[in-house]
A = this chain, B = another copy of it.
Amino acid sequence: MKIAVLGTGMVGHTLAGKLVSLGHEVTMGSRESGNPKGEEWARQAGPLAAAGSFSDAAGRSELIVNATPGTVSLAALAEAGEANLRGKILLDVSNPLDFSHGFPPSLTVCNTDSIAETIQRTYPQVRVVKSLNTVSAPVMVDPGRLAGDHDIFMAGNDQAAKSTVSGLLQEFGWVPGHIRDLGGLDAARALEMWLPLWLRIFMQQPQGKMFNIGIVSE
């Protein structure tokens, strides 16, 4: 698949690298065409990898991964351009974390709204799927590194888009029975509001020790 990864941070790099290793044609998008982080990544990642502006990346891709911070996602998507997004699947892995008052961050939007819903309202023709935002980037692309069954969630209004995303998650190693479809995109509120607890657990973990949650039932 032709995939744009918007964002040149750790999450963007991890996802873009994994997608290339799986044989996808990936363009890493950043604010400015010629961004050294994107260009350097593309050089090292081989012939399936490219770099460009948000608009370049979205324009040439079928699926767009929003790996920008939630606080700047709307600005990034505006630069990508509605015409480059329309009708496409947007996998939103962002979190609306506000670090301006220190650590742990609060959320810039929550409870009755979410970044994912804000994106969907702004771009009604985009097929937004929220997923992967509940885990660290290394876990997103390699769930098998954790010792036990654990779960990933999805939310979105477009069932076919969720099926496509589920397929990508399975390419990453997620097991179908542990890919939990929580329903419509309003469930993205719940996925983004998980972050405060994730952060508190993270603060108690040995440094660098990755984790996730598994649902344990009767």
Contacts and interface: CB of A to CB of B under 8 A. Distances in A.
Interface residues of A, number: 41
A218 B209 CA distance: 6
Contacts of A210: 217-218
A212 interface: yes
Given A146-B218, A216-B148, A182 B201 contact: yes
Contact of A193 (B110, B147, B187): B110
Interface of A: 106-107, 110-112, 145-150, 153, 155, 180-183, 187, 189-191, 193-194, 196-197, 199-201, 203-205, 209-218
Given A180-B201, A182-B204, A205-B217, 16 more contacts: A107-B111, A145-B218, A146-B216, A147-B216, A149-B216, A150-B216, A182-B200, A182-B203, A191-B197, A193-B194, A201-B215, A211-B216, A211-B217, A213-B214, A213-B215, A214-B214
